[in-house]
Amino acid sequence: MVKLDESSTKLLSALNKRIDAGQLDVPLLTSVVSQVLMMVGTPDAEAGKLAQLIQSDQALTGHVMRITNSPAYRGAAQLVSLQQAVARLGLQLISEIALVAASGPKLFRVDPYTQLVDESWRHALACGSWAKEIARLNHSNVEIAFLCGILCQIGKPTILQAMLSINKEAVIALSRDDIESIINENHTLAGAYIAEQWQLPSAVGDVINFLGERECSDSHDALYEIVTASLRMASLHCSGELEDLETLKIEPSLLALHLYDEEIEKLWLQREKVQETVEALSL
C-alpha cells in the first residue's frame, strides 16, 4: 500500500468509520431489476413473465436488447423481441444482462474520475466473465461465480464516491496513487455491503468478505478460489498480458483449483469470447 500523508490518513479514517457504520451510499437497483433477480431464483419462473417484467421499464428494455444483439450473444440472426431473447439465451443469462444494464458506471457520481470508474467497470465485467468460465471448468455454480466477480469490483466506484463525499470541499489533494491505494484496501467491504443491500445470495457477500484473506468457510472454498483466480485473469486480460499460456499454467490461483494443463489451455482459449462479452456488456 502507498504510504499516505497525514491529511490522506485522516480521510481514510473517516472513510473507515463510514464503512463500519454501514453508511455507504449504495446505488439502488430499480424495482424491475430487483423483481427480475427474485423471479429467476424461483423454480417456476416463466420466460414470458420475465420478458413482460423487463418491458415495463423502457430504458432497461432498450439496454438489454442492445446487449443481446451484440456479436457476443445474438448468434446468426438478430433478436427482435425480449421474448425471443429470453427463449434463446435463457432466464439466468437475461437476468445477468439486466443486472449489468442497471448497475454500470452511470449509477455513480464521481466527477472528475469517470475514467477510473470506467476502467473499474470493465475490470468488473472481465472478472465476472472469467469467473463464469472458470466455474464451468470446476463444475461450480456459474451464476453465483459471475455475481461474485462483478460485485467484488463494483465496490471500487462506491468507495471512490464515498471519498469524494467526505472530501467534497477538496480540502485534501489526493494523487491517483493515493486514491487507488485507498480503494484497493476497502473495495471488498463495499462490494459485500452492496451484495447485502441488493439481497443477492448470501454466498456472494461471504466470498467477497474473504477476498484478500487466505481463509474462507468450508462451504465456499471452491467459489473463493474461483473468484481469486478470476481477479487474476481479469487483471491479465485488461492489461493485455494474457498471451503466454505457459505462464498461465503455473499461475498459483489456478493451481489452487487443481486444474489440469489441458483445462487451463481450454480456459486460455476463451480469451476472444471473454473480450466479446466485456464489449457487449459495456454497451
| pLDDT tens column, 45-90 | 788 888 899 999 998 999 999 999 998 998 878 889 999 998 889 8
- Expressed as residue numbers, the domain containing 134 is 108-283
CATH number at residue 266: 1.10.3210.10
Grid coordinates of 264: 487451463
- Determine the distance from the C-alpha atom of residue 217 to the mean position of all C-alpha atoms in its chain, rounded to a whole number: 21
Q: Diameter of the chain by CA atoms?
A: 59
Look at residue 282 and tell me whether its pLDDT is greater than 70. yes
| pLDDT tens, position by position, 244-262 | 888 888 888 888 888 899 9
| pLDDT for 135 | 94
Co-location of 66 and 163 in the same domain: no
| pLDDT for 255 | 87
Q: Using CB atoms within 10 A of its CB, is residue 249 exposed (0-12), middle (13-18) or buried (19+)?
A: middle
| pLDDT for 268 | 93
Q: Which run of H or E residues covers position 152?
A: helix 142-166
Domain tally, the chain:
2
Look at residue 42 and tell me whether its pLDDT is greater than 50. yes
| pLDDT for 247 | 85
Q: Average pLDDT over the chain, rounded to whole? A: 85
| pLDDT tens, position by position, 25-40 | 888 888 888 888 888 7
Q: Is residue 28 part of a domain?
A: yes
Distance between CA 263 and CA 197 in Å, rounded? Answer: 36
| pLDDT tens, position by position, 228-238 | 999 999 999 99
In this structure, how many other beta carbons lie within 10 angstroms of the beta carbon of residue 150? 26
| pLDDT for 145 | 92
| pLDDT for 261 | 92
| pLDDT for 219 | 58
Q: Is residue 16 part of a domain?
A: no
Q: Is residue 12 part of a domain?
A: no
Co-location of 96 and 129 in the same domain: no
Q: Using CB atoms within 10 A of its CB, is residue 223 exposed (0-12), middle (13-18) or buried (19+)?
A: buried
More confident residue, 217 or 179: 179
229 touches 257 (CB < 8 A): yes
Co-location of 83 and 197 in the same domain: no
Name the pTM for this structure. Answer: 0.88
Co-location of 49 and 158 in the same domain: no
